[in-house]
Amino acid sequence: MKFCTVKQYFDDENNNNVTNGIATTVIPLPNKHLKIKANNKEMEQYEQELLRNVMPQELTKLILAANYLNFKEALDFFCRTVANAIQNKSVDYVRKFFGLESDFEPGEEEKLCKEFAWSFEGVDED
């Protein structure tokens, strides 16, 4: 069953892993899946609309929620969305997206840029 964790969630009053806002987004997903399962395109549109205005940090929370709820399809979908958002983007863009700072040693990053110079061609503009 997809929702073994959901029961636990509802039982557990003091749950920090899934805020209410996120739950309202994630939990209706499987019903929606079933309703329009036959029509993949409609599902795609629904998903695109759902995520159009979602900021990266929201997306991260959605991933955490789906992971906690053990909801594989939603997790897969959110991860795919992140992947689509960062594919073919520059290193700086990916850093900003995840809210990360570079933690390399001073000379290390330059070495990496040399090592992977071949991958910096054809990158989308930030």
Partner 1 sequence: MEDTVFAKLSDDVVLNIFFKLEDDPRNWARVACVSTKFSSLIRNVCWRNKCTTTIPSVVSDLLSSATAAFPPGGWASLHKLAVCCPGLLHSGVLLENSDFGLERELGPDEAFRNSLTFNNNNTDTNTNNTPQTHEASSSSNSCSWSLYDDLYFDTVYDVPGSTEGTMNPVDVVENSNSVGVGVGVVKRRKICRSTRSHLASGVWNLSREQGSKLLARQFRDDCLYICDWPGCVHNIEGKRNYMLFRGIFKNFKRSRVWRTINDGNRSRVDLNCAFCECKKTWDLHSAFCLRRVFGFHDDGEPVVRAYVCENGHVSGAWTDWPLYT
Residue 79 CB, shortest distance to partner 1, in Å, is: 5
123 with 92: CB under 8 angstroms? no
Q: Is the backbone of residue 99 left (phi > 0), alpha (psi -120 to 50) or beta?
A: left
Nearest residue to 65 via CA among 49, 79, 86: 79
**What is the number of other CB atoms lying within 10 angstroms of the CB of residue 78?**
24
C-beta closer to partner 1: residue 53 or 87: 87
Residue 110 CB, shortest distance to partner 1, in Å, is: 9
Residue 35 CB, shortest distance to partner 1, in Å, is: 26
Fill in the DSSP letter of residue 64: H
In the complex, which residues of this chain contact partner 1 (CB under 8 A)? 56-57, 60-61, 63-64, 67, 75-76, 79-80, 82-84, 86-91, 94-95, 98-104, 109, 112-123
C-beta closer to partner 1: residue 49 or 124: 124
Nearest residue to 86 via CA among 72, 74, 100, 75: 100
Residue 76 CB, shortest distance to partner 1, in Å, is: 7
C-beta closer to partner 1: residue 6 or 63: 63
